A and B are shown apart, each in its own frame.
Chain A
Amino acid sequence: MNAVFQGIGASVRRTEDLRFISGNGNYTDDINRPGQTYTIFKRSDRPHAKITGIDSTAASAMPGVVAIFTAADFAGVGGLPCGWQIHNKDGSPMAEPKHPILADGKVRHVGDPVVMVIAETKQQARDAAEALVIGYEDLPSYSASRDALAAGAAAVHDDAPGNLCYDWHIGDKDATDAAFAKAARVVKLDLLNSRLIANPMEPRSAIGDYDRSGDMHTLYTTSQNPHVIRLLMGAFVLGIPEHKLRVVAPDVGGGFGTKIFHYAEEAAVTWAAAKINRPVKWTSDRSEAFISDAHGRDHDSHAEMALDADNNFLGMRVSTMANLGAYLSTFGPAVPTYLYATLLAGVYKTPAIYCEVKAVFTNTVPVDAYRGAGRPEASFLVERLVDAICHDTGADPVALRRQNFIPRDAFPYQTPVAVQYDSGDYFATLETALKNADYAGFPARKAAAAAKGKLRGIGLSTYLEACGIAPSKLVGQLGARAGLYEVANVRVNPTGSVTVFTGTHSHGQGHETTFAQLVVDQLGVAHNQVQIVHGDTDRIPFGMGTYGSRSLAVGGSAMVKAMDKIILKGRKIAAHLLEASVEDIEFKDGKFSVAGTDRAKTFGEIALTAYVPHNYPIETLEPGLDETAFYDPANFTFPGGCHICEVEIDPDTGVTSVVQFVAVDDVGRVINPMIVEGQIQGGVAQGIGQALLEHAVYDAQGQLLSGSFMDYTMPRADNLSNISVGTENTLCTHNPLGAKGCGEVGAIGSPPAVINAVVNALSAYGVRHMNMPASADKVWNIINGGLRAAAE
């Protein structure tokens, strides 16, 4: 046993930190291959235009140019596939226009790649790209869903009439209509969920490498799920069989969703490396990232709640227009449907819910999952609607929530929108948050702020999300084209150290530390005797990667299953050595012993016996101690909790400061509290960023105005204050760890809490709702009389 406890529940300091704090990380752009060339993608500067001609004569003659490719060169290559197929209300499949690697005949958003220029150096490639002459004939363009859906709008894709991807619905319309028919009151709210850009600090990068002797393709890429890229790119885009294709995602500098998807650049460098028989490297500039990394959110919604005379929620109606951008990204269509509308019950026992979603093609960067993916859109809508009910009826925000919570004894709870919650205690997270935030003391703090000339407001959000993605059969019924289980291979080495190969991927989550704690706990091996390997399709059997807060709940569960097999085999070996029956061998504290005796073998002795045996039951048991397990979750997990935000507004400047933020979440079993706290703090910071600062904005001409860190307001240290994190955990009932997931809760729970606080602070000005971000100019305008224009 270890002198210091390093199993489940210990805040073990991170293994991976040593290389990161020393400059020894190995990110994709740090990798260079012999003979490497560099590529620059010449991108469209028009939102929507026909390509009338591409003249590369001058560019081809530039120094160092190796090759120039256009869509014509990719004629035999497939388009980028979409992972989900959503169906319309009438049962017909969604419109699924082709997503070519390079724009073919037409550009559909600013940033659409048109020409690939390869040269000896990056600067030479850039110079040559500047010398390209591309002719365009502009077409009408649309940045907002509402405009693209308007009658007579030009088609972004000829095979998607009216720019509609799908018109989908969920829930019981008749039951919901009946609830509204008997309602004593109906509260309505129109709201936008702002478009965001994930902006992981490491820009995307990809290196294609081709080994002629073995006919082997290798792609190094900044991906959250290398096996998914291998599957999609190999099978659907380039037609490379999986045994000839290796995808490596080494250290990845943050993902937040936007590094899930299979991007054109990955396929282009892999294809081009074989074509020119030299490695091809691409690394995105930040400016390029703004117009080529998939964006997030961008919903335009109308919501209504039917209430009885006592303010019990009777029914909810929602209609949403979701902007999918110019092309379908890998998960794009799933986000505003199954990751959004299935969460509209929130933590409330609303008996009838009906939601319609129109997904729309526009001339913007494709929209896909960004931290929370659909669930922040749902929590913002539900929790804003609840506060709007309080505004209209005079109900107390805490009392109204408590009154409509799903009771503690109602689990498992079947919602009216397809999912079944397995566990939760919304009263517990609320009560602890109220206490941690000293909610009762708010009036005194508000008065003290008022004495200083500041406007103070408090807001809460009692939210829920679904993660642990995903139960394969269920998501298959919902339109996923692949199951979403996870794989772990646990290899006990002859000397008793352990190597775990996991199909999840760590890009900040600390898996090398947390997953090793699972091994410490289950196999009794010291933490420093465990190596966690991820991010290489040649080393790991398979995997679906990391997103949707799935790594511990799904990937960790696969590890537990594989370790169960290790223990079972170890007991068989021990039974042979100790001349006892397998049933009498127990495994505890790293020792296999005969029950009730002191006869025992250590884990290390069993490992050595398994590999280099003199004395082994070779006739009945194969040597080796190496087991693989697949785990398919029975259900989603449902973390949730209560976030309470307190803001202070300076009426002279309109600047809103978060002066206190309290999160109390239910994330199920916690393996490493330090890492969980860090995940929640980071998620909350992104949520505060959305609520107060960040906004991806297109102008009327389809240009992205917020196209750099000078225009897109990323939260900085002095925009934020300390974030108090607590947990009130209930265990997930259907996975062996009881884990629910913690990666997204911060970003899902916090935005409505912040906006509820801002609206509360501005209540004297008649504000009922405010769309995000509550920027200083918007707030200043409200205070100074421009209420209607500013809030909307």
Chain B
Amino acid sequence: MPQVTLTVNGKTSSVEVEARTLLVELLRDKLGLTGTHVGCDTSQCGACVVHIDGNSVKACTMLALQADGTKVTTIEGIAAADGTLHPMQEMFREHHALQCGFCTPGMVMSAIDLVAKNPQGLSEDEIRHGLEGNLCRCTGYHNIVKAIDASQSLMHAKAAE
């Protein structure tokens, strides 16, 4: 079986996988990182979003082998080493932006990338369009949009530190 070597949340692993293994299957089944979820099979829901070399990617739409040599960050890897939550995690909790929690990891990972890539700031409308690739069935998005909006100043201030 082919081998894939990648760095996930700062830890480098080499794993043998079947060639058809998806990145999300590698993360969940081989590395035990079950925070990344699978909510569909057509790349529509975004529950599986992770960061690869700093860009948000749907881990169900990429073969594990394609991630060879990359740096992957999952929901388990975004809090600080001392456990301090990422501002996006904090704001999701503060603004009640999650209910069942299943879409949340992908939603948070997409939102972090969205905000980080737009230091000029995003309007409510831009945030809503930016979330097009992520489905939530519980919240009606109202509080997710609020949480992302509130995280903008916190994230940009942190980036400027």
Interface residues of A (CB under 8 A from B): 13-14, 16-25, 27, 29-30, 123, 199-203, 251-254, 256, 285-287, 507-510, 674-675, 677-679, 681-686, 708-710, 714-718, 720, 722-723, 746
Contacts and interface: CB of A to CB of B under 8 A. Distances in A.
B44 interface: yes
The 9 A-B residue pairs whose C-beta atoms are closest, nearest first, are A23-B35, A685-B140, A253-B102, A20-B101, A508-B100, A508-B99, A709-B44, A23-B75, A30-B34
Interface in B4-60: 18, 20, 28, 33-42, 44-45, 47
A216 to B, nearest CB: 25
Contacts of B47: 201
B140 A13 contact: no
Given A22-B75, A24-B35, A27-B102, A254 B137 contact: yes
A216 B132 CA distance: 46
14 contacts: A13-B93, A17-B98, A21-B89, A23-B105, A200-B137, A201-B39, A202-B100, A202-B102, A285-B41, A508-B99, A508-B100, A685-B139, A708-B40, A717-B127
A254 B102 contact: yes
A23 B88 CA distance: 13
B37 A202 contact: yes
A23 B36 contact: yes
Given A123-B18, A678-B139, A200 B129 contact: no
B99 A27 contact: no
B103 interface: yes
Contacts of A509: 99
Contact of A201 (B36, B45, B93, B143): B45
A456 to B, nearest CB: 19
Given A682-B99, A685-B139, A722-B142, A21 B108 contact: yes
Contacts of A718: 125, 128-129, 131-132
A717 B145 contact: yes
A252 B100 contact: yes
A22 B128 contact: no
Nearest to B141: A717
B89 A22 contact: yes
A254 B35 contact: no
B96 A675 contact: yes
Contacts of A709: 40, 42, 44-45, 135
A88 to B, nearest CB: 37
Nearest to A286: B40
Interface string B58-86: 00000000000000001110010000010
A716 B135 contact: yes
Contacts of A686: 137, 140
A678 B143 contact: yes
A18 B93 contact: yes
Contact of A717 (B20, B74, B101, B144): B144
A681 B105 CA distance: 21
Contacts of B102: 25, 27, 200-202, 253-254
Contacts of B124: 722
Given A686-B137, A717-B141, A678 B96 contact: yes
Nearest to A16: B101
Contact of B100 (A23, A253, A674): A253
Contact of A685 (B125, B131, B141): B141
A252 B37 CA distance: 12
Interface residues of B, number: 54
B67 to A, nearest CB: 18
Nearest to A198: B137
A281 B73 CA distance: 28
A13 B137 contact: no
B63 to A, nearest CB: 13
Nearest to A21: B89
A652 B37 CA distance: 39
A675 B93 CA distance: 12
B154 interface: no
A714 B145 CA distance: 17
Nearest to B143: A678
Nearest to B145: A717
A710 B137 contact: no
Given A22-B35, A201-B136, A508-B138, A710 B45 contact: no
Contacts of B74: 23
Interface string B114-133: 00000000001101110110
Contacts of B41: 285-287, 708
Contacts of B127: 717
B140 to A, nearest CB: 3
Nearest to B29: A32
Given A20-B101, A202-B102, A723-B142, A717 B132 contact: yes
Nearest to A199: B137
Nearest to B79: A22
A283 B132 CA distance: 26
B38 to A, nearest CB: 8
A682 B47 CA distance: 18
Contacts of A286: 39-42, 45
A13 B98 CA distance: 11
Most buried by A among B37, B38, B101, B124: B101
Given A25-B102, A200-B137, 5 more contacts: A22-B75, A23-B76, A200-B100, A682-B139, A709-B40
A215 to B, nearest CB: 30
Nearest to B106: A201
Contacts of B132: 716-718
Contacts of A675: 96
Given A27-B37, A710-B42, A21 B85 contact: yes
A21 B101 CA distance: 7
B104 interface: yes
Nearest to B140: A685
A681 B104 contact: no
Given A253-B101, A254-B137, A510-B99, A21 B92 contact: yes
A287 B20 CA distance: 19
A84 to B, nearest CB: 27
A674 B96 CA distance: 7
Contacts of B33: 23
Given A14-B96, A286-B41, A682-B99, A20 B141 contact: no
B99 A678 contact: yes
Contacts of B75: 21-23
